[in-house]
Structure formats: C-alpha cells, structure tokens
Amino acid sequence: MSLFRDLLRHPSGRIGLIIVLVFLLAAIAGKAGLSPFDPLAQDRLARLQAPSASHLFGTDMFGRDVLSRLMVGVAQSFIVSFFSVAVATLAGTVLGLTAAWYGGLWDGIVMRLMDVLLAFPAILLALLIIAIMGPSGWTSILAIAIVYTPIFTRVVRGPALSLKRRDFVDAARSFGSSRRYIMSRHLALNLVAPLTVQITLALAWALITEAGLSFLGLGTQPPQASLGLMLADARNLMEMAPWLLLVPAVALSFAVLGFNLLGDALRDLLDPKTRRALA
Amino acid sequence: MSSLLSVRDLKVGFGPRPESNEVVHGVSFDLAPGETLAIVGESGSGKSVTSMAVNRLIDFGGGRITSGSTAFTRADGSTIDLARAEERQLEGIRGREIGMIFQEPMTSLNPVLSIGTQIEEVFRIQFAMSGAEAKTAAREALERVRIPDAARRLTYAPHQLSGGMLQRVMIAIALASNPRLLIADEPTTALDVTIQAQIMGLLSEMKRETGTGMIFITHDIGLVAGFADRVMVMQQGEVVEQGMLDAVLDNPQHDYTKHLLNAVPHFSDGRSVRHDMQRDEGSRKVLEVEDLTVRFPVRAGLLKRQTGNVHAVEGVGFDLMQGETLGIVGESGSGKSTTARAILDLVRPTKGRIRAEGLAGAVSDKPVQMVFQNPNASLNPRLTVKQLLAEPLIAVRRRIDAEAVSRMEMLLDRVGLPADSLARYPHEFSGGQRQRLCIARALMLNPSILVLDEAVSALDVSVQAKVLDLLIDLQNEFGLAYLFVTHDMAVVERIAHRIAVVYAGQIVEIGPTSEVLANPRHDYTRQLIKAVPSLDRRHSDYGIDLTEIPSLVRPMGWEPDAPRYESAGEGHLVRAGA
Amino acid sequence: MPYPLKRLLAFPLVMFGVSVFVFIAIRLVPGDAITAMLGTESGLLTPAQREALTAYFGLDQNIFVQFWRWLSGVVQGDFGISTTYGQPVLRVIFDHFSLTLELAVLSMLLSLVIGLPAGIYAATHKDRPGDLAVRVVAMLGQSTPGFVVGLLLIFSLSVFFGVLPQMGSFVPFWQDPLGNLSQMILPALTLGTAFAAAVIRVSRSAMLDILSEDYVRTARSKGLSRRRVIWRHALPNALIPLVTLSGVEFGYLLGGAVLVEQIFALPGLGRVVLDAIQQRDYALVQGTILFIAFNFMVVNLLVDLAYAALDPRIRFETK
C-alpha cells in the first residue's frame, strides 16, 4: 500500500487520516454498544449536567450522556453519508462511463437528465424528495444520493471522454480489443484516482447535508441520535448548557475537516499534475 | 571587441536548497553585439535554464542563480551584472533591451487578451506611449513580421491564429523595442518544417535589420548551421564545447559534439539512404491501398446539418512489400496520420480498399499493428508491462500461457529491455525505453506490417537514432514491412526505402527515397526539402515564403478529379497538374 | 453555433424537464392528488366534494392533459393556491423572495470581497506563513457547515456581548437600509462562509496554475511589473473558474438559505419551503421549488454569458 504510506507522509493527509480513523472508531464503538452509557437512557436526576469525570461531555435535557449520543450520532451520520455516496458513486460511474463511451443519443438523454437534477439547488432537491417520501434516515440516504449522482456522472464523464481520446485507447482499439475490455481496463482503471478524490470530498458534503436535514427535523428522527438533531436540541439551551452546542458542533466540523483534508491529500497524491509538482 | 553579454561561471539550482539541486554547473560565454550564439543540447542539458537565467526569468520558475555573473552592456554603455540586479532594474531591461521568444507559440500568448493589447503593452510600459500612438506602433510591429492585414489582426484573440502566425506575433513583441539581445528558446520546435523555415527566414532578416545580438537555443544542430556565428554545446548542465560555427561543425573536439553531428539523423538530400531492399519479381506484396478516401463531416447551424466535408485523405493509393519501409511524409493537416489510422480501422474510410496479408507461413490474427507517437500516452500508466504486452493477445482471445510469457520475454530482450521488466510499470522506464516497449507490444501478434505514426518524433535526437537502428534490425530479422509516418525528413531519409509525400490529403509524389529526395519533381516536395535544416546549408539563408496550406473543407457533394500521375523514372510517380 | 446561443436554446428545454420532474414528484406523494393539492385539509372533504374537486381540477383526465393544464397555468403565473397562507402561491413567493435574494446576493458579495484578495494573496505568497494561514482558514471555513457557523455566531454574541440578533420581523432594505444591513450581516456571513472558503481555494489554485503558464512568462519577458502581471494577465484568466464557481454556488446559497433563515428566524422563501413541507402544502412546495430552480437556472445562464464575455475562446467556439 504505497498510497497509504504516501498519505502518512503528506502533512494534511496524515491529520485527515487520523481524524477520520478516530471518528470511525468512535462510531463503530457506539454502534457496538461500547459507549459509556446507553445513548437512549434518560436520567431525570442528571439533567443538563456540565462535563465532568462521569459524563465527559455532560448530559442533555433528558439526562442522556452526550458522549454516548455523540458516538451513535456520528455512527448514524457516517452510515447515511457512506450509503448515499456509495449509491451516487455507483450510479454516477455507470451513467457517466456509458454516456462518454456510447455518446450520441444516450449521452444526450443522460446528460439532459443530469442537467435537470442540477437545476435544483442541492438541499432543495433533497427537501423535495423528503417531502414526497416522508423524513427518515433512509430517505436522507436516497435524497443525498440523488443530489450527488449528477456530480459523479460529470466527474466520470469528463475524464472518460478525454481518456477515450488518449493514445492508449487507440492502441487498444488497434489491437482489436473489445469495448468492454477497454471500458473496464483503460477507462475505469484510470478513473479510480479522480473518483477516490471525489468520493472523499463528497463524504464531507454528505455529512454536512445529513446534519442539515436532521437539524431541520427532516432527517434522522428522534429519539435516535444524530449530530444535526443534537444541534437542533441545543438551540434553545445554548446559554444554559453551551456544551450541548459546542460538542456536536466541533465534532461535526472535525469529521468534515478530516474528510476534506484526506480528499485534498489524495488529490495531491493521485493527480499527476500536482504529483509532478511535488516530485 | 566590446561585449554585449559576458557570462562567467554561471551556476543555477532549483528548489528550496538550490546549491544541492544544481542543474547548470558553471557556464561561461561571451556574446558580441549583433552576434548570434547557438546553444545546442538535448533535454536536461540545461540550455533553456541557462538562457532564462540571463534575463532572470528563472526566478519565477523556482530557480536561483547560486554563483557567477552575467555582465550585460546596456544601451547607454553602462554595464550591469544581471545575476545580481534588483527585480525593478530587470523590469526595465526585459522587453526593452532583452527580448525573448519561446517554444510554444500556442500557449505563450494570453488567451483572453487580444493580439493588439499584448503588443501595445510593450510600447505602453517600456516607452510610456498611450492610446492611438501605441496602437499605431503595434500595427507597425505586426507589419514588420509580415503579417498581412495587420490592423484587423490586432483585434484577434490568440486562438484565432495558426501556430506560425502566433510565433510571428511573439517575434513582433520581442523585437518591438529593438532590443540589443534576443533570446530565442527553441522557437520553431513546435512548428511544421515549412513554417519553421518561414520563422528562421524572418529571424535572419530581423537580425540583419536591427543588428540585435541573439542567443538561439535548439536541440537541432542542423537548424543553426546556416544561422549562428558561434555554437555552444551543452550536456547535463555543462558546456562541453564552444567555438565558431565552422570550427565546431568541421572539427568537433568533444565526443558528444561528434555524436550530435554524426550519430544523429541529419538531412542530406537523399545521400544517406538504405540500400538493403530492392523490389523485384520475388517481392511479396503485404499491403495494398487503393483510392483511400477519408472525409469528416462539417456541421453547422442550429440543427447541426452537414454543410460540407473535410477532405482529410483523398484518393490515396500505394503498396508495400515484405521487408520494405514506405515513408509517408507531410506536415500537420496533410492527412498522413489519418491515412495510418484508416489502415488500422481507427477511423472509417469513406471509400477505398485496404488489403493486408500476414507473414508467409506465420499465424497472424492481426497482420497490421501500430506504434504511436507519444510512448507516454500510448501506454496505460496503471498497467504492468506484462499486462500491457498481454493486451493484443487478449484482444484476439488468446490465453496468456507459458508460451505467451516466453514470447514476451523474447521480445523484451530483442528490443533491448531488461528481463525483469514484466512486473514493472511504464513510469519506471525512460521515454526511449517506453517506445521500445510499444514496439515489443506491437510485435506480440507476429504482424507482417507495422504502422509507425511519428514513432520517434517525441524522443531526444540521440535516442531517436538508437530506436531507428532497432527498427532496422527488427525489420531485417522478422521481415517486417513498415509504414513510417513522419514530418521529419532527416528521419525518413534514414529508414525509408520509398517515400510518399502527402499534401492536402493527397499523395503528390511517390518513389524510391534517393530519387524523391535528390531529384524532387513536385513543387511541394521541392519546397519541403528546401525548408529542411541540414548541416550542408551553412550560411545559406532561409527565404521568406508565406504561403499557407489550403483549406480542406469543401461543400457537400464536391468530388475532386481523379488524381493523375506522371512517371519520373522507375517507380517514381509525380502528381500532374497540381 | 456560438456557445452562449447554445446555452440560451438549451434553457427552455431544461426548464421543461424541471417542470416535468416537479410535476411527477408531487404526483408521487402517497395518497391521491387532492391530498397532494390540499394537504391536511383534504381530510375534511366529503366524498361528493372530493369528486367535484377531482372533476374541477381535471384529475379524472389522463396524465398528459393534466400536465398540460398545470404547465399552461404555471406559464401564466398560476401556481395554485397555498393552503397554509390562503393566498395564490406566486403571491406568497413574491412576498418572501426579496429577503432570500438579498441574503444570497449579500453573502455572495461578501465572499467574493473577502475570498478573492485572500486567494490571490495566498497564491502570490505560496508556502509562506501568510499562504499557510489563509489555507487553514479556508479549510476550516469549508469544513464548518453554514448552520453551525450561524449557531456559533449567535452563541458568541450572546455569551460575549449579551445581545441576540434581531429575529422574527424583517426590515426591507428600501425602508431602512442600515437597519436592514445590520439585520442581514450575520445571516449573510453564515451563509457565505463556505462560499468564501471555496472562493479562496479556487482563486488560489487557479492563480497558481496561471502563474506557471507560458503566457505569464511571456508577460514577464516583456518587462511587466509583478503587479501588472497579476492584475492584467493572470486575474482575467483566474476569473473564469470563479465565474463558474459563482454560478454553482448561487444554488447552494439559495438552498442554504433554508437553514440560515430557520436559524435566524427570517421570513424568507427558504422558511416558506420548509413550512410548506412540514404543513404538506404541496402546491406551495411545488411552486417555490420550481421558482427557485428557475432563478438558479437564470443565474447559470448569466454565468454562461459572462463566461463568453471573459473568454474569447468560448465566444467563438462551437463547443
């Protein structure tokens, strides 16, 4: 894994990787029930307690442990982000690759369809989908996936079009290689780099979008924990219990920061243009 | 002798610690006013870095002069050490006393500003001219470089002009202030040979007219044979030899200079051609092309209706024998690459017949294989050598078994690559090695014909020579026929048995290499040969001929007359009436 | 065909696609179309009323006829009646859009005014402390979601200054410019943070790319000063990607307004969308989203035209 080694050597890559890993571990621990408290357990005697040794990040208005809720909240945010980006990547890659390769009518249909989706501001498109399907974690996944599909389609189609004109594709055609072989070998393989970068950055956006939807009450529904919900709950208590605001705010920003740093580092390492500049 | 520029022990390094990353190791030379010095070297020789260190443009490219001096005599007679000058002083010297032109005219002008704005700027900045005055000066500058219709051209954006035109604009900018020194960094390398001749002619005329001193950087020692007063040869950041042009060309001292003069292909009017293959009764025809025509539709309007065709290739016909090389020579836009691609079925011919045969007695699924110009681009960077070599086999559904692997190893050995190459990736090889890899790949299916599309053009000149030798060896060993597409007359002279000269999509002359090159019959062939730089043409000037290539776009339904050819000797045909 | 003209011609086509999309989307709402149109109030209808309404709205006709009737209504400005506001949808939109537009424009201006100089500064001081600082700020700005910025702004104001931004009511600009601006500045900052960060990053990297271009070398070889090279030669080229970014980001600003208006309790169109969704006021959802998409597309069309004005290559090229 030379990419992994390169990442550890890259200053922002290292920081990003550490942040993402810490959050990933916290999320897994939260999902595995390893949080210090039951994230749903209410304790009327311990409401709105400031951070202390027993409740590291304090408790909320129902006496629930904020750290524990943060862990499952992060897990929830990550799950929604990962699934939505995975769906968008898959759909976008298939659409973008076939559009670039076959061109003509199919390309026209796909790209006009993407134009239509892109004509909506991202959050509004998500809201429209949620309005139709009713708010839930699964709807969020679908909504975010639909929002990002056109972006991935473009990310794939652009480079695929230029790859298609590259000499090595001509060389393959001169041997008589099949379309499927050229698509899987020459196009897809060379799209891994731009896709990796885009996936990482999309994860950052997806975290933000998921949190925003939950914040509006249109994403993850209570009593489930999510970062956006925790922030929404903190709104009216921020003066009385600032930790309720600060803990999820910092956690969310850091998680996003981690993916952004990682994405930037990957771009530096995978993009041949910057690669040359670094060498 | 008063000196214009005197460089002493110049050292240039790059990066945060330039001392430890030095690329020019102590260069010294002198330039008298009005004198032309040619700096000759291959990539990595430090020739461009040296030239850009003179006007200190190197500062902006991450480089730094670590020691040495560059004493420049200014117009007022004072001398300044440019190596230590302040940026503010340098701004008054650049563009006013030192002009510069670069290799890539297409990218050297700002795409969003008009030509006029970019020329006027010199007059505004350096001579504090304003408005109409600067505009007039810019128009005169354009007229000086022989750009017709200058007033209108001033309003053009760079992308509306051809490469040759843009290079003339660059010359206009560089000479706008009648500088005492002009630095030309490979100004013709990106251009076609006839355009190159135009630019060289223009530069010599300008030199005479303005008496400017010149530093001319090039990789082609033949190019400066008729141009420079003195030559300085560089290799890996060191000057290996310098002296008067005649002395260096006639009596080279250093091995590397000898190598550049002798081992590297130089054009010699058809005197150094191959004689290892003669067509006779027993010759076996492996490729026959008849009336090959490729037209690309031109669409316009809202509904993208087809309004005409680009007649890229029109009625091209030739044949090719086993063991023979046919050189297809032409400039960009001549249709030579399209011809090659049509034979490989990479573009669909509009009409015509292509018949290819495999080697006698050999099993060959695809008798024609191709090697492309740029080895970096034609090898997928994410595949190993083994995967790359397997590709032609997979395409014809052969298994990658022990036999296939042993063929890979045999071919790698044959093209001179180490046996452990199979597990490596393309970026671990040099440019020349990558092209060898491409050749090995093209031979995997045991073809009878290799189409080589500018196959050595992207390589350094001394690497070119080695790859050409390899190709000749392989041809003799496997009995291959080559279709060698190139713009480079020196290269084609060395490798082709026969030559077809293409112009505007049609063959204008075809015949044995020595005949066509020594005894050209068609006007275009003559013009082309006259434009080729060669060591022999010392002190003979390039004339200025400003003809442009005709448009290949024709209206719908336009059909050219069938080409007529006249015989000009055995196997030597010349297109008549055109 | 010139590029701008091509975009102009594509505009109605995409707009039509958007309408189809919104029309179908609302038809996909669980339950029947009367529910979709009347929202929660449809529960109060008697079967007879329901039938009458169905006939009145032409819902018994086939889907194409329905779409055609709906679309011709939309084209004439008839987006239906909002059940929550009891007013025509278009009226509701116009009542609230000016605030959202002002918010978007203001945050765009703020971002450009802050981001562009910062990006150019960073590019021309590459790898020096100033560049590093700008990059860290941009990275943090990019990573902090807008609504978190808003919450933190409100929080710091109340903790450190003991004041709360004026919320709830809205003073239009033409009534009290200063009051309006003092009310809008925080929301605009909130909304603009991510965009400013993006402007910094794009202008920095574009500038860096351009400064290593051949034509910049040419400009220097002409003896131009550093300033002139940057402002006259590099900047016009750097503006091209920035214009693209601005077009895309304008959509994010319109969308982000939903959250910001929620946090600062501003009665803008974003709030209307959100309320409409929560109240299941489908005519309003449909109308507002279509309206915002339309505006976003107009902005992008303008961006394409600006593009052509900036870059002669696009002006003349067919592709």
Kindly report, residue by residue over A238-268, the tens digit of the pLDDT: 777 888 888 899 999 999 999 999 998 888 8
Angstrom distance (rounded) from CA A134 to CA C195? 30
Residue C115 scores a pLDDT above 90: yes
pLDDT score recorded for residue A5: 84
Q: Do A260 and C143 touch (CB under 8 A)?
A: yes
ipTM here: 0.85
Average pLDDT, chain A: 85
Q: Which two tokens stand for residue C282?
A: 């489908």
H or E segment to which residue B327 belongs? strand B325-329
Q: Which two tokens stand for residue B267?
A: 């054009």
**Which residues share a beta bridge with B64?**
B13
Q: Which of C255, B302, C3, C28 is nearest to A119 (CA)?
A: C255
Question: Which of C143, C152, C303 should one mutate to test binding to chain A, selecting the residue with the greatest count of A CBs within 10 A?
Answer: C143
Residue B539 scores a pLDDT above 80: no
Angstrom distance (rounded) from CA B184 to CA B176? 15
> What distance lies between CA A201 and its chain's CA centroid?
7
Residue B516 scores a pLDDT above 60: yes
Residue C38 scores a pLDDT above 80: no
Residue A279 scores a pLDDT above 50: no
pLDDT score recorded for residue C35: 65
Question: Which of C27, C137, C148 should one mutate to test binding to chain A, selecting the residue with the greatest count of A CBs within 10 A?
Answer: C148
Angstrom distance (rounded) from CA A192 to CA A156? 10
Task: Provide the pLDDT confidence category of residue B443 given band limits of 50, 70 and 90.
Answer: very high
Residues of B within 8 A of A170 (CB-CB) are 341, 346, 372, 378
> What distance lies between CA B277 and its chain's CA centroid?
28
Q: What are the distances in angstroms from CA B288 to CA B316, B317, B356?
A: 11, 8, 7
Asked if A123 has any chain C CB less than 8 Å from its own CB, the reply is yes
Angstrom distance (rounded) from CA A139 to CA A127? 10
Ordered strands of the B238-244 beta sheet: B98-101, B181-185, B213-218, B36-40, B230-235, B238-244
Angstrom distance (rounded) from CA B434 to CA B456? 11
Average pLDDT, chain B: 88
Find the radius of gyration of the CA atoms of chain C. Answer: 24
Residue type, C48: A
Half-sphere exposure of C129 (CA within 13 A, CB side): 0
Question: A175: distance to nearest CA of chain C, Å?
Answer: 31
Angstrom distance (rounded) from CA B314 to CA B305? 23
> What distance lies between CA A188 and its chain's CA centroid?
21
pLDDT score recorded for residue C23: 83
Residue A273 scores a pLDDT above 60: no
- pLDDT tens per residue, range A88-133: 999 999 999 899 888 888 988 898 889 888 888 888 888 888 888 8
DSSP letters for C9-27: HHHHHHHHHHHHHHHHHHH
What are the backbone angles phi and psi of residue B149, rounded to the nearest 5°? 60, 45
> What distance lies between CA A157 and its chain's CA centroid?
21
**Annotated domain spans of chain C:** 89-310
Question: B54: distance to nearest CA of chain C, Å?
Answer: 11
Q: Do B380 and A168 touch (CB under 8 A)?
A: yes
Q: Is C306 exposed, middle or buried (0-12, 13-18, 19+ CB in 10 A)?
A: middle
Task: Provide the pLDDT confidence category of residue B544 given band limits of 50, 70 and 90.
Answer: low
Question: A176: distance to nearest CA of chain C, Å?
Answer: 30
Q: Which two tokens stand for residue C287?
A: 């109308």
Q: When comparing pLDDT for C40 and B193, which is higher?
A: B193
Angstrom distance (rounded) from CA B372 to CA B454? 7
Q: Report A:229-258 residues touching C (Cβ under 8 A).
A: 231, 234-235, 238-239, 242, 245-246, 249, 252-254, 256-257
Q: Pick from C22, C154, C256: which is nearest to A123 by CB? A: C256
What are the backbone angles phi and psi of residue B270, rounded to the nearest 5°? 80, 20
Asked if C237 has any chain B CB less than 8 Å from its own CB, the reply is yes
Angstrom distance (rounded) from CA C273 to CA C275? 6
- pLDDT tens per residue, range B213-264: 999 999 888 888 878 999 999 999 999 999 999 899 889 999 999 998 887 8
Q: Do C221 and B94 touch (CB under 8 A)?
A: yes
Q: Pick from B61, B110, B170: which is nearest to C233 by CB? A: B110
- The answer to whether domain C89-310 has CATH 1.20.1250.20 is no
- The answer to whether domain A11-31+54-278 has CATH 1.10.3720.10 is yes
Asked if B87 has any chain C CB less than 8 Å from its own CB, the reply is yes
- pLDDT tens per residue, range B296-329: 888 776 566 788 888 889 999 999 999 999 999 9
Question: C245: distance to nearest CA of chain A, Å?
Answer: 14
**Percent of chain C predicted with pLDDT > 90:** 25
pLDDT score recorded for residue A277: 42
Question: Which of A20, A128, A210, A236 should one mutate to test binding to chain C, selecting the residue with the greatest count of C CBs within 10 A?
Answer: A128
Task: Provide the pLDDT confidence category of residue C34 given band limits of 50, 70 and 90.
Answer: low
Residue B471 scores a pLDDT above 90: yes
Cβ count within 10 A of residue C32: 13
Residues of A within 8 A of C108 (CB-CB) are none
Task: Provide the pLDDT confidence category of residue A278 given band limits of 50, 70 and 90.
Answer: very low
Q: Do A167 and B373 touch (CB under 8 A)?
A: yes
Question: C237: distance to nearest CA of chain B, Å?
Answer: 7
Q: Do B96 and C223 touch (CB under 8 A)?
A: yes
Average pLDDT over residues C92-115: 91
Q: Do A167 and B380 touch (CB under 8 A)?
A: no
pTM of the shown model: 0.83
**Percent of chain B predicted with pLDDT > 90:** 47
Residues of C within 8 A of B302 (CB-CB) are 1, 9
Angstrom distance (rounded) from CA B3 to CA C185? 65
- pLDDT tens per residue, range B379-418: 988 889 999 999 999 888 888 899 999 999 999 999 999 9
- pLDDT tens per residue, range B158-197: 988 888 889 989 999 998 888 999 999 999 888 888 888 8
On whether the CB atoms of residues B385 and B428 are closer than 8 A, the answer is no
Average pLDDT, chain C: 83
Residue type, B551: S
Q: Which two tokens stand for residue B133?
A: 């005055």
Residue C165 scores a pLDDT above 60: yes
- pLDDT tens per residue, range C208-249: 989 988 999 999 999 899 899 999 999 999 988 898 888 888
Q: Do C139 and A211 touch (CB under 8 A)?
A: no
pLDDT score recorded for residue A155: 87
The CA-CA-CA angle for residues B84, B86, B90, to 5°, reads 100
